[in-house]
Amino acid sequence: MTVQHPIPPRQSDDRLGGIIKLAVMAVGGQGGGVLGGWIETLARANGHVAQATSVAGVAQRTGATIYYIEMAPKSERMPVFSLMPAAGDVDVLIAAEMMEAGRAILRGFVTPDRTTLIASTHRALAVSEKMVPGDGIADAGEVRAAIGVAARRAILFDMDRVAIDRGSVISASLFGALAGSGALPFPRAAFEAAIRAGGKGIDASLAAFNAAADLAEAGGAAVAAPGAKQIARPGQPTGSPRLLVEWQALETRVAALPEAVRDMAGAGLRKVVAFQDAAYGTAYLDRLDRVLAQDRSDADWALSRAAAKYIANAMAYDDLIRVADLKTRSTRFARIGQEMGLRQDRLLALTEFFHPRAEEITGMMPARMGARWQASPARMAWLDRWFGHGRRLRTDRPATFLTLWLLGGLRGWRLKTLRHAQEMEHLDRWLSAALAEAPSDHALAVEIIRCRRLIKGYSDTHARGTSKFDRVTGAVALLRGRADAADWMRRLREAALADEEGKALDGALATVRSFL
C-alpha cells in the first residue's frame, strides 16, 4: 500500500476561469453519491460556487456511475459549468476501485499534464470477470503501469481496507485521500466540517477520513489504528457464552491440524459456521479429518489443503434461505441508504427481483416430499408457470419484508430440505471418489478434489457447472492406472473452464477416449 507524490499539487488553470473539475467513478455500495455531496458541500461552504451532476453506469458492475463536480471562487461573473467530464479536461479523478482507474485512463479523463489521480488499490470484481468459468480476474498490475504514464500525480493505497478497519465505508477514506492530496484549495478542517454537516455516521466517517488523509500526506502504509473499531470475522460467533465455547472448541481442532492446512481450514470453518451453525462446522472438520487420514506429509498435505477449501464451498451452497437472509440484513439497508444519500425525512423504497426456478421451490420442501414433486413433470410444470416469470418484491413494505425475513431465518429447517440432501449426497460422492484414488495415485486424488471449482453460483449457472463437473470426473475410469492421469485430469478441468459452451471440454474428452 503506497502513496506516490512525484510532484507538488497543480493549481487551478486561470485560462479556465479558475474552475476546478473533479470526477468520481464509483459503483453501488461505495458511497459515490455521499462523496459527491461532501465535495459539493465543501466547496459551497468555502466561498465557491459549485455544480454536481451524475451519469449512471450500466447495471451489474459493467460500468461505474460518474459523479462530476465543477467549482470556482465566487465572482461577479457566474461561470458556465459543464454537465459531464470531457477527455483531457479533468483536474482530479477519484476511482473507488483499481479497474475504475483503468477505465478512466481509457476514456481520456486522466492526462499527464493535468490530472491528480486518487484510486483505491483494492478490487471489486466486475460481472465480466465473475462470469468467466475459470480465472477471469483482470491484471491490476497493468493498470498501475498505465497510471505511472497517464497521471500527473497518483495517490494509491487500499482505501477500502482503511475504511473497513474503522467501521466505515470507502467514501470516507476517498474523501480523506482527497484532503491529504492538497488538490483542492481548502484546509483539512473544512473537509471534516463537510462530514459533520452530513449528520450520519460521523464518528466512523471521520476516523476513516483522518486515517486516509494522514496516509496521503505522509506516504505511510495503511494499517489499522490502535483502538480502531474491529469488525467481527465472518463465521465467528459473538455474544452468547455457549456459542463462544463451541467456537473455541472448533478453533482448538483447527490449531491441531498440520501447519500447511491450518489457514485454509480456518477460513473454511468460518464460512460454514456463518452459513449454518457450530454443529455444521463440526461436520466440516469431520470431513476434513477423513481426508487427512489418507494424506501425506511428504506431499505437503496437498490433498487436505485442497479439501479444506472445496469442502467448505460445497457445504456453503446458495439457496433461497441464504438469498433472503442477505436481502433483509440491516447492514444492507444502511449501505443502500448511504449510497442514495438518504435523509432522515425521506423513506427508502427498495424493489427486489426474484426469479427462482421450480427446482429452487421443490428444494425448499422436506426431502421426501420434494423428491416426489421433482419426479412429477406435471407438478414441476405447474411450479414453473407460477414462478418462472419472476417476481418484483418491495422489501420496504412490512408484509414483504417479514416474509423474506422469516425465510432467511429458516437455518434450522435447511438441513431437512431436499436441496440440502442433494448437496450433501453430491459432496460425499465426490469426496469418496477422490479418496478412493488416494492410496494408488495421490496426485490424481488432489486433482479430483480441485474439480469442485467447476461448481459455483445458483440456478442455471449451478446446473451448468454441475454438468461439467460430472463429465470431467466421469473420466477417472478412463485415466486410472496411467502415469499421467493427474495431468490429464487437470487438463480436462482447465478445458471445462475455458468456455461456457463446453466445446474445449468435448475436444479434451475425445482425446482421452482415444487412449482406449
Q: Is the pLDDT of residue 59 over 50?
A: no
CA distance 131 to 450: 19
Domain termination site, one of 169, 202, 218 = 218
Give the residue, 75 or 233, on which the prediction is more confident.
Answer: 75
Tell me what the mean pLDDT of segment 292-314 comes to. 94
Position 226 pLDDT exceeds 50: no
Q: What pLDDT sits at residue 285? A: 96
Residue 341 lies in a domain: no
- Range scoring the smallest mean pLDDT among 29-43, 88-102, 348-362, 422-436: 348-362
Check residues 219 and 277 and name the one with the higher pLDDT: 277
Q: Does residue 237 fall inside a structural domain?
A: no
Provide the CATH number for the domain around residue 98.
3.40.920.10
What pLDDT, in 10s, does the model give residues 24-57? 998 766 778 889 999 999 999 999 999 999 887 6
pTM: 0.62
Domain total of the chain: 2
- Helices 330-339, 32-45: crossing angle, 10 deg rounding: 40
Q: Which tens digits make up the pLDDT trace of 107-142?
A: 899 999 999 999 998 877 655 555 555 555 556 677
Confidence of residue 394 (pLDDT cuts 50, 70, 90): confident
In a domain, 465, yes or no: yes
> What pLDDT does residue 356 have?
78
CB count within 10 Å of CB 230 equals 10
List the strands of the sheet with 153-157, edge to edge.
Answer: 48-55, 65-73, 20-26, 92-95, 116-120, 153-157
Q: Quick one: pLDDT band at residue 225, thresholds 50, 70, 90?
A: very low
Give dist(CA 437, CA 443) in Å, integer. Answer: 9
β-pairing verdict for 65-73 and 20-26: antiparallel
With a pLDDT cut of 70, the percent of the chain lying above it is 86
Give the residue-averaged pLDDT of 196-224: 78
Q: 511 is in which domain, residue-wise? A: 442-516
Cell of 105: 485512463
pLDDT at 460: 77
Read off the pLDDT of residues 375-388 as tens digits, 9 standing for 90 and up. Answer: 999 999 998 888 77
Determine the Cα–Cα distance for residues 268 and 252; give it in Å rounded to an integer: 15
**pLDDT reported for residue 341:** 66
Q: Is residue 135 situated within a structural domain?
A: yes
pLDDT at residue 29 in the model: 66
The answer to whether residue 471 sits within a structural domain is yes
Kindly state the DSSP code that residue 345 receives in the 8-state scheme.
T
d(CA 340, CA 260): 45
- pLDDT mean over 491-497: 91
Which residue, 218, 241, 263, sits at the end of a domain? 218
- Distance between CA atoms of 316 and 458, rounded to whole angstroms? 12
Last-in-domain residue among 218, 253, 272: 218
401-427 residue pLDDT tens: 898 899 889 989 999 999 999 999 999
The helix (H) or strand (E) run that includes residue 391 is: strand 391-394
Task: Tell me if 191 is assigned to some domain.
Answer: yes
- Mean pLDDT calculated for residue range 328-335: 81
Is 464 contained in some domain? yes
* 136-184 per-position pLDDT tens digit: 555 667 787 888 888 998 999 999 889 988 888 899 999 999 999 999 9
Residue 381 domain-assigned? no
Distance CA 373, CA 385 (A): 15
